Amino acid sequence: MAQALSSTILPKPRFRYSPVVKAGPWIRVSGMVALDRATGALEAGGPGAEAAKILDNLTQALPELGLALDDMVAARIFTTRMDLFPDINVAWDRAIGAMATPPARTSVGVTALPLGATVEIEFEFYKEGGL
C-alpha cells in the first residue's frame, strides 16, 4: 500500500499531489522545481542554478525522510534548455559525483515546465528493509 511521507524541509506543493510516496521499499519524490523553501520563489540564474537548488533541497530533506543519496536508484531530469544541459551536469556532479554507484538517469527536453521553471527533476529511491 502506498503511503505519503511528509517533509518540513521540502517546499510545499502548490497543487494537490503527494511530494513523497513510499510503496514497500520504493520511495518516489515527485518532480521538483527550484523553489526557495522560505519564499516559494523560483531560483533565478537559469538551468544550472535551478538544478543546484533542486538537488540542495533534496539532500537537505533526505535525513528527515530516512534516506541517503546512496539509496537513490533513478532520477529523471526535464529541461526546457537542452542547449544549457552542461550547466545542469555541473550541478549534478557537485551533488551526486561522490556516490559509489550513481543512479540511473534520464534527461528529457520539454517545451514548458510548471511555474516557468527551466528544470524539473524527479527521484526514485530504494530502501531495503524500509524506513
Residue 130 has pLDDT above 80, yes or no: no
The values of phi and psi at residue 9, to 5°, are: -95, -40
Q: Model confidence at 131, in pLDDT bands (50, 70, 90)? A: low
- Residue 16 has a pLDDT of 85
Residue 13's CB is within 10 A of a number of other CB atoms, namely: 12
Instruction: Tell me the three cell numbers of residue 98.
Output: 561522490
Percentage of the chain modeled with pLDDT above 90: 79
Q: Helix H segments across the chain?
A: 47-65, 85-96
Q: Model confidence at 126, in pLDDT bands (50, 70, 90)? A: very high
Instruction: Tell me the three cell numbers of residue 126.
Output: 530504494
Q: pTM here?
A: 0.94
Burial of 65 (0-12, 13-18, 19+ CB in 10 A): buried
pLDDT digits (tens, 9 = 90+) for 96-121: 988 989 999 999 999 999 999 999 99
Which domains are seen in the chain, by residue range?
Answer: 2-126 (3.30.1330.40)
